[in-house]
Amino acid sequence: MPLRETEAIVLRTYRLAEADKIASLFTRQMGRLRAVAAGARRTKSRYGAALEPLSHVRAFIFEREHRDLLRMNSAELIESFFDMQKDYRIQLAAQFIAEVAERMIPEREVNERLFRLFLAVLRSLKHSGEVTRPLVYFDYWLLRLAGFLPDLERCQSCARALGEQGGYYVPGSEGLLCDSCRAGATGQRISSQVIATVRAGCQRPLERWISEEKSPLGCREARRFLEDLIELHAERKLVTRAMMEEAV
Ligand SMILES: [Zn+2]
């Protein structure tokens, strides 16, 4: 039974028995997995404190042959994202990220870029206090790394360049549509300016996008569109997304 050391982000934990928890983790070296955290519910255990939601930890995991559930022997806190969650908006944004991870990231697939995306977005939520751009950035890159990001400059249906007109997002569509392809269907218009802003912003490190300019107009519309796409590909409604919309 090899013991492996890996960095991990705690997506959530749930009670298992008197003293144990199950931890759902997105790890850097082993991908997304669930592990039994034996003894983590004992009061005042530092191990238990390291397993607060969204903590960035160093985890020590036993791989067991022929068993789905792994066993985590200990975890050390590297960086906490717990205090920032006193702000309800940020708490919901962080829970949204965790929910999307559980729905969209395949189990046991290592993805270094996605792991770095998670850390960058959590740090940005923690230090900027802003929610919209960190989530636009998260949504854009999550879709892109999963291969679901459509060409934002062309109509999804006829492939014509959207140009100055921008495009329309009609619920259920996997991308933006031009005015004639939407054929009168009600949709959210996404202007060419918003498309350009999001593309340019997401090409930079998130920290720089946020520190170098004020929140540009239209990011909320872009976020709604990108999150609709995430729900479409997750093939279910996301609980935290509905909560975020209520809280705005
Ligand atoms: Zn078209």
- CA 232 to ligand 1 center in whole angstroms: 20
pLDDT in tens, the chain (248 residues): 688 999 999 999 988 878 788 999 999 999 999 999 887 777 667 777 789 999 999 999 998 777 677 999 889 999 999 999 999 999 999 999 999 999 999 999 999 999 999 999 999 999 999 999 999 999 999 999 999 999 999 999 999 999 999 999 999 999 999 999 999 899 899 999 999 999 999 999 999 999 988 888 889 999 999 999 999 999 989 999 999 988 76
**Quick one: pLDDT at residue 46?**
75
Residue 61 and residue 75 in contact, taking contact as beta carbons nearer than 8 Å:
no
CA 176 to chain centre: 22
Residue 75 and residue 57 in contact, taking contact as beta carbons nearer than 8 Å:
yes
- CA 185 to ligand 1 center in whole angstroms: 13
- CA 211 to ligand 1 center in whole angstroms: 36
- CA 176 to ligand 1 center in whole angstroms: 9
**Quick one: pLDDT at residue 217?**
84
- CA 181 to ligand 1 center in whole angstroms: 4
pTM: 0.93
| Amino acid of residue 218 | G
**Quick one: pLDDT at residue 214?**
86
**CA gap 152, 228 in Å, rounded:** 14
- CA 111 to ligand 1 center in whole angstroms: 34
Cβ within 8 Å of residue 147, ≥6 positions away: none
- CA 150 to ligand 1 center in whole angstroms: 14
- CA 158 to ligand 1 center in whole angstroms: 4
- Give me 240's structure tokens: 């935290």
Q: Which uninterrupted H or E stretch holds 213? A: none
**Quick one: pLDDT at residue 64?**
76
- CA 142 to ligand 1 center in whole angstroms: 25
Which residue, among 72, 65, 92, has the nearest Cα to 10 in the 3D structure?
72
Using only C-alpha atoms, what is the Rg of the chain?
20
**CA gap 239, 226 in Å, rounded:** 16
- CA 189 to ligand 1 center in whole angstroms: 14
**Quick one: pLDDT at residue 73?**
86
**Quick one: pLDDT at residue 47?**
78
**Quick one: pLDDT at residue 184?**
87
- CA 183 to ligand 1 center in whole angstroms: 9
- CA 22 to ligand 1 center in whole angstroms: 48
- CA 156 to ligand 1 center in whole angstroms: 7
HSE-up of residue 215 (Cα within 13 Å, Cβ side): 16
CA 44 to chain centre: 30
Residue 139 and residue 226 in contact, taking contact as beta carbons nearer than 8 Å:
yes
- CA 187 to ligand 1 center in whole angstroms: 14
Instruction: Provide the 3-class DSSP secondary structure of residue 161.
Output: strand
